[in-house]
Amino acid sequence: MRATPSRHNTATRLGAKPSGFIYPLAFNQTTHNADADAARVIIESDKANNFDARAFRRAWGPLTIVPTEKQALTIPIHAISYGRPVAQLPAKFKPLFRPKNKQGKKMNILAATINGVMTPLYALVKKVTIPQDPGLLPTEAELTQTAASKIVGFLRKRGASGE
């Protein structure tokens, strides 16, 4: 999660302001516990806030996402749509429609008429594969360093208290 505040490739490409959406949700949905046998860091999903913690799985390999409730995923392709599900798009950018190509077939985009111009806002796709990104979670070396420093701190505290 250390990477999320500094990565805004999509926002930059679209000329949008970074939403900062993931970091606080991930931070607030993360708990940890440990016992003599194991230590666990748990990042839970929060459906009410459209946060799916399973996305962190891409720290270990590519992640394929498919729609679960609709026929297609809506991928923002304009600064207006970046960081907003279709349902949260301001009313002034509605109604959305699927424009037709020159052959009269509906295109796989959702668009709006903005200032009299047809403006594509979302690409409609059946699935998307996001590449692996190991920087989403701490490295094994970072986890080891943190564990070692906590153990040393515990032993110092225990030694100082005479227990």
Q: What is the pLDDT of residue 51?
A: 62
Ramachandran category for residue 65: left, alpha or beta (phi over 0 → left; psi -120 to 50 → alpha): beta
pLDDT digits (tens, 9 = 90+) for 6-40: 566 776 777 667 665 555 556 666 666 666 777 67
Q: Which two tokens stand for residue 13?
A: 């490409």
Residues 6 or more apart whose CB falls under 8 angstroms from that of 141 comprise: none
Residues 6 or more apart whose CB falls under 8 angstroms from that of 118 comprise: 99, 111, 112
pLDDT digits (tens, 9 = 90+) for 32-67: 666 677 767 677 766 765 566 666 777 778 888 899
